[in-house]
């Protein structure tokens, strides 16, 4: 059985699915690992390092995709420069494991089903204790939260920490984190380590203790509705609740030197948390880093992928932050994939056990079918007529 690591063709994707250390561990288990030439280059892992770990370097991309039993990737498959789709290169009956964005772009899932490929979507790994080591959303979100604070610190025309110097005392910067999931909590921890005074807000009241244990103040807003959905994710809240939260958070946004927004609701456009009116009330020189930029942004002024200055406020909408730290992002992602493969491979063969809750949730296509009702609904919402949806 061949496990293959593809080179990412997405321009801004610097991560790689396996690093040499994890290759060595798989090879030690008697598995054959192929790595596409140059796959690790942008994450600083050379072909020579993969070879030394026991991998075979394959220069022919069509051969690698066409003969893989398990194809490992970071970004969803795409159209290649020669006009061929990566999905079409896959062997029928093979397995692809990658971020596949199945709710945001369900057409990829449809094409994988039509190709009769078993697709495992890293976004669909359940957020359970048993699946923790496979949870790539968490490993990558944590990097995004950390990096967002560093970006804000670099753009801020001020110190973050309090300093007492011979030339006077510097007051600490005020950082307001909106959305205290994995990325938000890491942003809180990083901003605290840099010495700033941190406040955080989330519509899920359960995060209050986690926020406080990191040394931040939790901005509590009591809402007259359930805000937590199955799996611990947030729900989309009503217009009335949105208005109420906006009224309360305005004061905190206004007083902050840095605002970092991380709020997301799975399968939906990111909620609008910071309106243009709120930005207009911020102090000139303040900085907003909107991690949700790719999902439409939490701030009305965000332009995804761009840094803009509006009214003296810098608004940064970074795309794919984990890719900007490709060494550790790849290391953690590779660990997530190898943990997943431990339950997927038995006696050196793929064993898709749908009685296993992790495989059942994450395997989104199999034997020509789309297995997830949420993806079928997303396709139907797009108005796509597809044979794979029964």
Among 55, 237, 260, 299, binds ligand NAD (CB under 6 A): 237
| Region of 70-78, 197-205, 320-328, 367-375 interacting with ligand NAD (CB under 6 A) | 197-205
* Catalytic status, residue 127: yes
Q: Please tell me whether residue 213 binds ligand NAD under the rule CB under 6 A.
A: no
Among 110, 121, 138, 339, binds ligand NAD (CB under 6 A): 138
Among 54, 266, 285, 368, binds ligand NAD (CB under 6 A): 266
Give the Cα separation of 373 and 389 in Å (integer). Answer: 9
Q: Please tell me whether residue 250 binds ligand NAD under the rule CB under 6 A.
A: no
Q: Total residues at the site for ligand NAD (CB under 6 A)? A: 30
* Catalytic status, residue 307: no
Among 25, 127, 193, 244, binds ligand NAD (CB under 6 A): 127
Sign of the torsion formed by the C-alpha atoms of 267, 273, 277 and 279: negative
Among 3, 5, 95, 137, binds ligand NAD (CB under 6 A): 137
Give the Cα separation of 24 and 182 in Å (integer). Answer: 30
> CA separation (Å) from 384 to 104, 108, 278, 308?
14, 12, 39, 36
Least CB distance to ligand NAD at residue 240 (A): 13
* Catalytic status, residue 186: no
Among 132, 275, 281, 324, binds ligand NAD (CB under 6 A): 132
Q: Write the interaction track for ligand NAD spanning residues 64-103; mark x where CB under 6 A is met and - where it is not.
A: ----------------------------------------
The active-site residue, picked from 47, 69, 135, 257, is 135
Residues 3-22 that bind ligand NAD (CB under 6 A): none
Q: Please tell me whether residue 234 binds ligand NAD under the rule CB under 6 A.
A: yes
Q: Please tell me whether residue 300 binds ligand NAD under the rule CB under 6 A.
A: no
Closer residue to ligand NAD (CB): 110 or 298: 298
Q: Please tell me whether residue 199 binds ligand NAD under the rule CB under 6 A.
A: no
Using CB positions, name the residue nearest to ligand NAD: 181
Q: Please tell me whether residue 182 binds ligand NAD under the rule CB under 6 A.
A: yes
Among 121, 139, 186, 264, binds ligand NAD (CB under 6 A): 264
Closer residue to ligand NAD (CB): 225 or 353: 225
Q: Please tell me whether residue 208 binds ligand NAD under the rule CB under 6 A.
A: no
Phi, psi dihedrals of residue 264, rounded to the nearest 5°: -145, 150
Query: What is the SS3 assignment for the chain?
Result: CEEEECCCCCCCCCCCCCCHHHHHHHHHCCCEEEEECCCCHHHCCCHHHHHHCCCEEECCHHHHHHHCCEEECCCCCCECCCCCEHHHHCCCCCEEEECCCCCCCHHHHHHHHHCCCEEEEHHHCCCCCCCHHHCHHHHHHHHHHHHHHHHHHHHCCCCCCCEEECCEEECCCEEEEECCCHHHHHHHHHHHHCCCEEEEECCCHHHHHHHHHCCCEECCCCCCCCCECHHHCECCCCHHHHHHHHHHHHHHHHHCCEEEECCCCCCCCCCCCECHHHHHCCCCCCEEEEHHHHHCCCECCCCCCCEEEECCEEEECCCCHHHHCHHHHHHHHHHHHHHHHHHHEECCEECCCCCCHHHHHHEEEECCEECCHHHHHHHHHHCCCCCCCC
| Region of 77-85, 108-116, 230-238, 324-332 interacting with ligand NAD (CB under 6 A) | 230-238
Closest CA to 15 of 359, 362, 336, 339: 336
The active-site residue, picked from 75, 138, 139, 295, is 138
| Region of 78-86, 150-158, 182-190, 375-383 interacting with ligand NAD (CB under 6 A) | 182-190
Q: Please tell me whether residue 295 binds ligand NAD under the rule CB under 6 A.
A: no
Report, as residue numbers or ranges, the catalytic residues: 127, 132, 135, 138, 233
Please report, as ranges, the residues that interact with ligand NAD according to CB under 6 A. 127-129, 132, 135, 137-138, 141, 178-184, 201-204, 232-234, 237, 262-266, 271, 273
């Amino acid at each position: 059985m061949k496990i293959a690591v593809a080179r990412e063709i997405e321009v801004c994707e610097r991560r790689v699915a396996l690093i040499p250390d994890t290759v060595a561990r798989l090879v030690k288990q008697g598995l054959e690992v192929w790595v596409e030439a140059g796959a690790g280059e942008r994450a600083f892992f050379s072909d020579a390092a993969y070879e030394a770990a026991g991998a075979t370097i394959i220069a022919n991309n069509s051969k690698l995709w066409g003969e893989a039993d398990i194809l490992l990737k970071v970004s969803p498959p795409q159209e290649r420069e020669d006009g061929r789709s990566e999905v079409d290169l896959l062997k029928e009956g093979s397995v692809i494991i990658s971020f596949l964005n199945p709710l945001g772009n369900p057409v990829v899932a449809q094409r994988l089903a039509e190709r009769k490929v078993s697709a495992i979507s890293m976004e669909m790994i359940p957020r359970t204790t048993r699946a923790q080591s496979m949870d790539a959303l968490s490993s990558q979100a944590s990097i995004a939260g950390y990096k967002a604070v560093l970006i804000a610190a670099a753009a801020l025309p001020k110190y973050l920490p309090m300093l007492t110097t011979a030339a006077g005392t510097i007051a600490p910067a005020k950082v307001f984190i909106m959305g205290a999931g994995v990325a938000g909590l890491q942003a809180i921890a990083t901003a605290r380590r840099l010495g700033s005074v941190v406040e955080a807000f989330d519509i899920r009241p359960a995060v209050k203790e986690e926020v406080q244990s990191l040394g931040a103040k939790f901005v509590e807003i009591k809402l007259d509705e359930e805000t937590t959905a199955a799996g611990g994710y947030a729900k989309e809240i009503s217009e009335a609740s949105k208005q109420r939260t906006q009224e309360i958070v305005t004061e905190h946004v206004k007083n902050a030197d840095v605002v970092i927004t991380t709020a997301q609701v799975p399968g939906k456009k990111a909620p609008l948390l910071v309106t243009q009116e709120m930005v207009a009330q911020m102090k000139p020189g303040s900085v907003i880093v909107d991690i949700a930029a790719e999902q439409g942004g939490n701030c009305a002024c965000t332009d995804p992928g761009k840094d803009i200055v509006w009214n003296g406020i810098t608004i940064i909408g970074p795309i794919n932050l984990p890719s900007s730290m490709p060494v550790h992002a790849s290391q953690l992602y590779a660990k997530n994939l190898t943990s997943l493969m431990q339950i997927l491979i038995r006696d050196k063969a793929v064993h898709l056990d749908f009685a296993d809750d992790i495989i059942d949730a994450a395997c989104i296509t199999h034997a020509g079918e789309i297995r997830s009702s949420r993806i079928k609904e997303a396709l139907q919402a797009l108005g796509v007529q597809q044979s794979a949806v029964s």
